[in-house]
Structure 1
Amino acid sequence: MDIVQAIILAIIEGITEYLPVSSTGHMIIASSFMKIASDDFTKLFTIVIQLGAILSVVVLYWKRFFQSFDFYLKLFVAFLPAVFLGLLLNDIIDELLESPTTVAITLILGGIILLKVDDWFKKNEDVNPKNPTEHTEINYLTALKIGFFQCLAMIPGTSRSGASIVGGMTQGVNRKTAAEFSFFLAVPTMLGATAKKLYDYYKAGFVLSDNQINYLIIGNVIAFIVALIAIRSFIDYLSKKGFKIFGYYRIVLGIALLVIHFFIYKLTI
């Protein structure tokens, strides 16, 4: 990996982490085209720069993180399924991460769902004048269910944010609230994933060079700045327009990836 490749991947991470388009899928595609996907540092880099994206959520919603202890308990409950299933299915997940075909198919299937999700849960956006918070409250059971939906993102191409947002909407939560809870849930989830990846990296005997450390610092700064812009833009757009544009994008990208992989340039992970 060189500095240009690091910057490109960081920009992709910042843009896609909180959009329902799968940041992991985009990173796999980009690193495959740059022929660095199989490099151990690349795999570490794509996980660790999520810390920058995490910080953007904390900065934008810092008041919420000091709101109440109940807030943290709900995040903890929602985080538990990812801990359990992540450890249980670790080897299977690693195999899926090496399949561009899996990414493409999952992008398409997820896109089809996003085309329909606004219609399926249209009633969630209706405000009851007698109880205006009816579709905005997330209790512990809802948080746990959202956590299980988030686990679908262990399949590359699914989208962690997309799965958890749709999971919230299945429980009667409106789009904006579901999206924001998905952002908050990203904090413990990404911290856990980053810590595990760093542990595995050092356990395998790898040592970071000065250049690699610099790449990680630059990557996190870029991911942070880009994610700040992406989150604000996404929330505004989602509240007004819904998911359809993301569904079309996923389907087009998935089909294009299959065509490229099988007929033009065989992607290798």
Structure 2
Amino acid sequence: MDWLYSIILGIVEGLTEFLPVSSTGHLIVAGDLLRVPWQKNVIDTFEVVIQGGAILAVVVYYWRDLVQQARSIGSDKGVQRLWLGIVVACIPAVILGAAFGSKIKAALFNPGVVAWALIVGGVLMYLIELRPRPAVTHKLEAISLRQALTVGVVQVLALLWPGFSRSASSILGGMLTGLDRPTATKFSFYLGIPVLGGATLLDFVKHRHDLGTAGLTNVAIGFVVSFIVAYFVIGWLLRFVSSHNFKGFAVYRVIVGIIILILIATGVIQNVNRA
């Protein structure tokens, strides 16, 4: 049955990594509901690897743009501003991740914390949509360093509170600082390449020996499934935000959070730390 766990977790990762609903939260709950028979350290490393599949989907989706930007970065001021902004936006997560990442993971990676993060994040998302600020930035290349830093600071919420969602925090941070929804969403995708890619690579190097327990074939299945699903989710989300707001995602988060709390209260899910 291990291959079935790999497929299901790969689908969950691919569906939720870039939607503002928390892939970490959904994976924690999905793993508990499935009763995946792997040790916690094996599950953690497996999830890191399949997250790599979702990151690769972003690179492939934007491959032409990335290649063009790489060719013109020496002379194009807009491209230089974009990637300098991405570097700036990464700084808060890198600093806090290095200082507190392992401690937060050990203390807060449990379904109860995730449930409240989903609920609080959903309420904040809905309130922001009720009182939208006028968008002043409609292109990636026009994002200022101040806006990029704001996105990076707000993104830290996802690191400090598992289940809040990196995607949600970075998109909402972008909207709060004046980016329109499509630009904030696209910047979140770009920002995910170094932030998630770096975290994935670091975690993989530290714990790659754990993968053998899950089986390399199962790991490969999860990676590929995550990549395929995430690729299509990226395109769908970009089309969605061009004509819709995030209120639906906000309501979904609150409902899922309440369901998780009920499952904990009834003993279906054990409220124990994953790490």
- Whether the TM-score (by the shorter chain) exceeds 0.5 is yes
TM-score with structure 2 setting the length: 0.87
Looking at structure 2, the residues matched to 216 and 137 of structure 1 have their Cα atoms a distance apart, in angstroms, of: 39
Any unmatched runs of 5+ in structure 1?
none
User: What is the DSSP-based 3-state SS (H/G/I as helix, E as strand, rest coil) of the residue aligned with 2:169?
Assistant: helix
Looking at structure 1, the residues matched to 57 and 17 of structure 2 have their Cα atoms a distance apart, in angstroms, of: 11
| One-letter amino acid of the counterpart of residue 85, structure 1 | L
Runs of 4+ in 1 over 3 A off after TM superposition: 132-136
C-alpha contact 1:117 1:243 (8 A) present in aligned 2: no
Match of 1:47 in 2: 48
Instruction: Rate the CA distance shift 1:230–1:240 in 2: closer, same or farther, 3 A.
Output: same
Looking at structure 1, the residues matched to 13 and 211 of structure 2 have their Cα atoms a distance apart, in angstroms, of: 21
| One-letter amino acid of the counterpart of residue 54, structure 1 | I
For 1:169-180, what aligned pairs fall within 5 Å after superposition?
169-180=175-186
Find out whether 1:9 has 2:9 as its counterpart: yes
C-alpha contact 1:137 1:173 (8 A) present in aligned 2: no
User: What is the DSSP-based 3-state SS (H/G/I as helix, E as strand, rest coil) of the residue aligned with 2:158?
Assistant: helix
Find out whether 1:194 has 2:196 as its counterpart: no
- Work out which of the residue numbers 101, 109, 114 in structure 2 matches 1:90: 101
How many angstroms does 1:73 deviate by?
2.4
Looking at structure 2, the residues matched to 185 and 266 of structure 1 have their Cα atoms a distance apart, in angstroms, of: 33
How many angstroms does 1:261 deviate by?
0.2
Match of 1:227 in 2: 230
Match of 1:160 in 2: 166
Looking at structure 2, the residues matched to 53 and 135 of structure 1 have their Cα atoms a distance apart, in angstroms, of: 21
The Cα offsets for residues 169-201 of structure 1, whole Å up to 9 and x where unpaired, read as 111110100000000000001111112212321
How many angstroms does 1:122 deviate by?
4.8
User: What is the DSSP-based 3-state SS (H/G/I as helix, E as strand, rest coil) of the residue aligned with 1:89?
Assistant: helix
Find out whether 1:113 has 2:118 as its counterpart: no
How many angstroms does 1:40 deviate by?
1.4
C-alpha contact 1:81 1:148 (8 A) present in aligned 2: yes
- Work out which of the residue numbers 248, 258, 262 in structure 1 matches 2:261: 258
How many angstroms does 1:163 deviate by?
0.1
C-alpha contact 2:45 2:211 (8 A) present in aligned 1: no
Looking at structure 1, the residues matched to 188 and 253 of structure 2 have their Cα atoms a distance apart, in angstroms, of: 19
C-alpha contact 1:104 1:253 (8 A) present in aligned 2: yes
| One-letter amino acid of the counterpart of residue 242, structure 2 | S
Looking at structure 1, the residues matched to 195 and 189 of structure 2 have their Cα atoms a distance apart, in angstroms, of: 10
Looking at structure 1, the residues matched to 260 and 241 of structure 2 have their Cα atoms a distance apart, in angstroms, of: 26
C-alpha contact 1:135 1:174 (8 A) present in aligned 2: no
Looking at structure 2, the residues matched to 78 and 123 of structure 1 have their Cα atoms a distance apart, in angstroms, of: 22
| One-letter amino acid of the counterpart of residue 24, structure 1 | T
User: What is the DSSP-based 3-state SS (H/G/I as helix, E as strand, rest coil) of the residue aligned with 1:21?
Assistant: coil
- Work out which of the residue numbers 125, 137, 143 in structure 1 matches 2:148: 143
C-alpha contact 2:55 2:193 (8 A) present in aligned 1: yes
- How many corresponding residue pairs? 260
C-alpha contact 2:3 2:218 (8 A) present in aligned 1: yes
Looking at structure 2, the residues matched to 122 and 75 of structure 1 have their Cα atoms a distance apart, in angstroms, of: 22
How many angstroms does 1:133 deviate by?
4.7
Match of 1:75 in 2: 86
TM-score with structure 1 setting the length: 0.89
C-alpha contact 2:53 2:226 (8 A) present in aligned 1: yes
How many angstroms does 1:212 deviate by?
2.2
